[in-house]
């Protein structure tokens, strides 16, 4: 049985910290108030007696040390201050295992749950909520920039100082981060997953916290502040997963309500991409982060007006991605390059004037032309695709942007901009545009963004995106790509049974493509089922391979067959 040192009130630690009393604890940690030469501080202690596996215990210690190092580097008025020497180990000298300790600033004031109760649960005003939201997002931005997630934002974990400053507390706490970390690292239960009912998003409850998980919890916190009620007091729309709370916030501005709804969207891909997008919106730069003014979404491709001729696929995908969506081949593909380059140079010279002229024409048209804007947006988007196919990328890009100006709810221009930027190998901008299309529920964008995440080795994020996308995908071509990519991501994560199941579903949809067979062979090999892998690799060789990536997998399959 493990014997560990014990900390009690009255003890003097490190010759300076006098223990006053225990003020909290649970999970894998205890919290004490200590006196440091007349200054009250908080002492967090890692409770090692809960760890029976040496490997798990060492991981917990490593993470605790990492947390101490991080907090020692952060300097922000909204984060408890930790001195560089605030981490130490302590033992009572009785051959007991030493305790790992971390001392940090004690925040004066009350937490927001206490504050709200003290005012009889009277809701926050729109103006105060706007100010507080900016402060809290700025704090989160600091954390996220250090690749750190809070994971437990809620009223009790936000302190209000007497001077009005908000402070996040218990972020990266022993229990919270240790449990989340061990769940992720070991891929199995080692304790209880951190769940705060009403505040924890679905993906975090499954052990896959992402930055957008903090946004969800933050949004749910403001539901409390703006209504005086817990999120658990509201019903959820069974079809969309959205919280039904708007009718309890009639005095809140529509703009703020729309933002909160975006923060608490059921899927991470529907939420803002990062803190800066939220700040842009809150600080008046709405064009950086457009929000729908109502709950309607853009029309899906299969409901476009019949005369638009809209297409969403491009030739660039075949050169850079497999199993996205095959491009249409134009009859005039063999264009003379020199005249086209000359045309592009002329266009670049007058690009700004063309765009501004178009905007002025639209504005001068008054109400009449704006009533035609949605249909006109489809036309301009289609024109942009035609120019893209003709390799006039600059004109295509401007057309897509103009289409979005006419109809910001339209997802296709965002998606097509993603394809264009990807073809130009600008993957950062491509991800941004796919993300915007995802926020508008474009199923194809879920797939392409997930593939970029796979290329970037962000496999868990890719899995989350693909699972969300599959819930709305209807076209079999899209479903095949998603199931294949989901199997690929699971393979990279070492989750072989799930990879096998996903790839088999892709094959059931389309048994003529090579990719799913090739990846399934890799999964079976990992499971030491070489005979079945051999059979699948033979199907990989005999199936269609349309892309460079598929051809590479087919080549690898041929080598495996020779080895066996």
Closest CA to 17 of 99, 110, 111: 99
Write b or e for each residue in 55-89: b if 16 or more Cβ atoms lie within 10 A of its Cβ, otherwise e: ebbebbbebbeebbeebbebeeebbbbbeeebbee
DSSP conformation letters of 323-347? SS-PPPPPTT-S--HHHHHHHHHHH
Check if 152 is active-site. yes
Beta carbons of 340 and 532 less than 8 angstroms apart: no
What is the token pair recorded at 466?
């693909």
- Catalytic-role residue among 36, 85, 92, 152: 152
CB hemisphere CA count around 15 (13 angstroms): 1
Give the C-alpha separation, 326 to 317, whole Å.
7
Using CB atoms within 10 Å of the CB of residue 21, give its burial: 0 to 12 exposed, 13 to 18 middle, 19+ buried: exposed
Cα separation of 482 and 328, whole Å? 20
Sequence-separated (6 or more) residues with CB below 8 Å from residue 545: 514, 515, 551, 553, 554
Among 536, 535, 544, residue whose Cα is nearest residue 513: 544
Cα–Cα distance measured from residue 81 to residue 161, given in angstroms and rounded to the nearest whole number: 14
**Which tokens hold the place of 241?**
């997963």
Nearest to 335 by CA among 409, 388, 402: 388
Q: List the beta bridge partners of residue 435.
A: none
Active site residues: 152
């Amino acid at each position: 049985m493990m014997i560990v040192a014990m900390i009690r009130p009255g003890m003097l630690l490190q010759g300076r910290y006098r223990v006053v009393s225990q003020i909290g604890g649970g999970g894998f940690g205890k919290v004490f108030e200590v006196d440091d030469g007349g200054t009250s501080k908080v002492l967090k202690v890692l409770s090692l007696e809960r760890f029976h596996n040496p490997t798990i215990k060492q991981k917990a210690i490593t993470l605790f040390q990492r947390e101490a190092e991080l907090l020692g580097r952060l300097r922000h008025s909204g984060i408890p201050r930790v001195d560089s020497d605030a981490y130490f180990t302590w033992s009572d000298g009785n051959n007991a295992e030493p305790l790992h300790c971390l001392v940090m600033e004690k925040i004066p004031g009350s937490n927001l749950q206490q504050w709200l109760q003290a005012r009889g649960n009277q809701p926050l005003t729109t103006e105060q909520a706007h100010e507080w939201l900016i402060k809290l997002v700025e704090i989160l931005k600091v954390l996220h920039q250090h690749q750190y997630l809070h994971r437990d934002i809620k009223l009790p974990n936000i302190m209000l100082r007497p001077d009005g400053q908000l402070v996040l507390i218990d972020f990266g706490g022993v229990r919270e981060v240790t449990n989340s970390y061990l769940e992720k690292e070991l891929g199995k239960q080692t304790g209880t997953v951190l769940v705060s009912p009403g505040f924890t998003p679905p993906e975090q409850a499954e052990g896959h916290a992402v930055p957008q998980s903090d946004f969800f919890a933050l949004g749910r916190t403001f539901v409390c502040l703006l209504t005086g009620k817990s999120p658990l007091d509201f019903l959820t729309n069974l079809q969309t997963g959205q919280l039904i709370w708007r009718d309890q916030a009639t005095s809140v501005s529509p703009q703020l309500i729309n933002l909160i709804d975006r923060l608490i969207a059921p899927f991470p891909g529907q939420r803002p991409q990062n803190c800066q997008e939220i700040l842009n919106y809150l600080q008046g730069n709405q064009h950086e982060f457009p929000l729908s003014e109502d709950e309607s979404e853009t029309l899906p491709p299969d409901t476009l007006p019949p005369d638009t001729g809209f297409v969403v696929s491009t030739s660039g995908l075949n050169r850079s991605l497999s199993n996205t969506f095959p491009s249409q081949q134009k009859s005039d593909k063999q264009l003379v390059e020199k005249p086209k380059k000359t045309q592009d140079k002329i266009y670049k010279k007058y690009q700004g004037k063309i765009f501004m002229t178009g905007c002025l024409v639209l504005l001068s048209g008054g109400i009449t032309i704006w009533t035609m804007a949605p249909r006109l947006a489809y036309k301009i988007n289609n024109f942009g695709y035609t120019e893209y196919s003709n390799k006039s990328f600059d004109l295509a890009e401007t057309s897509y942007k103009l289409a979005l100006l006419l109809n910001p709810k339209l997802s296709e221009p965002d998606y097509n901009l993603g394809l264009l930027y990807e073809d130009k190998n600008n993957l950062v901008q491509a991800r941004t545009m796919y993300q915007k299309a995802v926020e508008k529920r474009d199923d194809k964008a879920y797939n392409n963004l997930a593939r970029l995440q796979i290329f970037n080795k962000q496999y868990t994020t890719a899995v989350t995106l693909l699972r969300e996308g599959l819930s709305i995908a209807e076209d079999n071509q899209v479903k095949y790509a998603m199931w294949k990519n989901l199997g690929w991501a699971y393979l990279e994560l070492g989750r072989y049974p799930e990879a096998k199941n996903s790839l088999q579903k892709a094959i059931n949809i389309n048994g003529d493509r090579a990719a799913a067979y090739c990846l399934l062979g890799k999964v079976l090999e990992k499971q030491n089922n070489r005979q079945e892998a051999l059979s699948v690799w033979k199907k990989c060789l005999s199936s269609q391979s349309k892309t460079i990536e598929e051809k590479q997998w087919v080549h690898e399959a041929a080598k495996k067959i020779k080895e066996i």
